[in-house]
Amino acid sequence: MTAKPKVFITDFVTDDLHIEREVLGSLADLAALGAKSERELWGKVEAAFALIIYHAVELREPTITRLNQCRVIVRAGVGFDNVDIQFARSRGIPVVNIPDYGSEEVADTALAMTLALTRGVHLMNSQLRAAAGPWSYKLAVPVFRLRGRVFGVIGLGRIGTAAALRAKALGMEVLFYDPYKPDGYDKALGVHRAESLEELLPESFVLSIHCPLTEETRHMIDRRAIGLLPRGAYLVNTARGPIVDQGALLEGLEQGHLAGAGLDVLEEEPPRDDDPLIRAWRDPGHPAHHRLILNPHAAFYCEEGFHEMRRKTAEACRRAILGQPLRNVVN
C-alpha cells in the first residue's frame, strides 16, 4: 500500500486542524509540529511532501537541504522573508504565498491607526487614563483636518491599494512611491505617483508602509528618511518591522519631529523588555508613552480572514498533491 503524502504545519497553528482536514480529506497525512525555532524542525520534516510555514520560524538552507521529497512550501501569509526562496528554487521546490487573505484587515488597521493618531483619539485616551492633564480637547492640540492632507504610501500592492482607497474616502490626497508599479495604475485609482522617497516624504502628513521586506527596503525608513517628513507627521507600519529603523523612530518621537506612530510590526517579535523603544513606550515620562501605538503583529487577524488563510494554504497543498498548476509562486 502506497503511503500518503505527508503535509506538515511547522508553527503557529498547533491544534484543531479541522479546516485543513476538510480540504485535504484522505489525500494526505497531516500533522502540526508546533516549532518555535528552525532547529526544532530537524528530524521531523525530512519526509514532507508539503510544508506550511507561518511566521514563528524561519526556513533556511540547513532545513531546505533536508527536504528531499518536498514538492511545495506554502508560506501561510503574504510576506515570505522568513523563507530562503532562492535556495528552495535551486532545490526544485516552489514556494507559494497567500497574498489576498487579509488585505482588507491590514488596510483597515492602517487606517484605524491613522485615525486614532491624527484625530488625537489615542493621545487623549492615554493621557486621561494617566491623569496627565485636564478633561479637555486641549490635551491633543493641535489636531488638523484630514481632508486635503497627504496620505503617503510606500508599496502600492494589494494592501497598499486598499489603504489608499480608504484614505481617499476620508478626503485625503494619496501620493505613493512604488518603482515596480506600472504606469497608469495611478490614473486608474485616482492617486498620484512620487518618483522617489525624496519626493514622497516631505509631502506626507501620514506615511503608511505596505512594501515587502527585502535587502532594498530594510531600514528604508531611517534617520534621514524620518527627517524628510514634515514636522508633526505620523508614521504607520503594518508591513514588516525591519523596514523602519526603530532607533530613528524613537528619536523622531523624542524630538517631536513625529507627532505619533502606529506599529503593528517590530524588528524583533516579540520584543525584549530592554528594547529601547519598548522601554520608552512603557515609561510615563517619555513622549512615546502617549504617542506610540503598538500591536502584536495582529493586523492580519479576523476570524474570517484567518480561516480563509488556513483553507487556502491547504488548497495549495492539495493542488501539489494532485499535480495541478500552483498559484502565487514567488520563486
Catalytic residue among 240, 290, 291, 318: 240
**Catalytic status, residue 297:** yes
Rounded Cα distance, 194 and 201, in Å: 9
Rounded Cα distance, 28 and 208, in Å: 41
**Catalytic status, residue 269:** yes
Look at the block and give the residue holding cell 503593528.
264
Rounded Cα distance, 128 and 212, in Å: 37
Distances (CA, A) of 247 to 215, 231, 277: 19, 18, 7
**Catalytic status, residue 166:** no
Pairing of β 206-209 and β 233-237: parallel
Grid cell in block for residue 95: 514556494
Catalytic residue among 297, 311, 315, 319: 297
Q: What contacts 24+ positions apart, CB below 8 Å, involve 59-64? A: 59/10, 59/83, 59/84, 59/88, 60/84, 60/87, 61/87, 62/38, 63/38, 64/88, 64/91, 64/93
Pairing of β 50-53 and β 292-294: unpaired
| DSSP letter for each residue of 73-129 | EEESSS--TTB-HHHHHHTT--EEE-TTTTHHHHHHHHHHHHHHHHTSHHHHHHHHH
Catalytic residue among 22, 198, 254, 269: 269
Grid cell in block for residue 132: 496627565
Strands, E assignment, 13-79: 29-32, 50-53, 72-75
Question: What residues are annotated to the active site?
Answer: 240, 269, 297
